Structure 1
Amino acid sequence: MDPVARRITFDQLTGDFAGFLSIPGLEPIVTPVETRALDETMSLVLRGLLGPDTRLTGSRRDTDAARP
């Protein structure tokens, strides 16, 4: 975790995710789903840590839509 850059970095511990995405034709389907799931999950985690009124924004989109 880098509080100055406001960034949390994750490492993959198990599995072969890169190999999964190399299946032709699946990446355009899987990538938006995984991105949305990660955005929504991280917004829930961060609001749990920082409070429910925390406003989260990202470079791709505003994640307020993920608010429960």
Structure 2
Amino acid sequence: YRLCGLIYFGKFHFTCRVVDRHGDVWFHDGMKTGTNLVPEGNVLSLDSSLLQKAGKRRVSVLVYTRM
């Protein structure tokens, strides 16, 4: 299995991070970024504490895919 997404919840609003097949992490918050994803780096080089929170929102769901 491979991590492919993280969903964050807080203040009645969801945000997410998408991890593509190359391990690149993309942030999305429809209220702030509209339809755009913001690149954040590679999952292997990011500090794990970055993935635990998105602003003040804590990770609520981890999404995995079968390789």
Structure with the bigger RCO (C-alpha within 8 Å, sep 6+) is: 2
Pair in the same fold by TM > 0.5: no
TM-score calculated relative to the size of structure 1: 0.24
- Bigger fraction of residues in strand: 2
Query: Larger radius of gyration, structure 1 or 2?
Result: 1
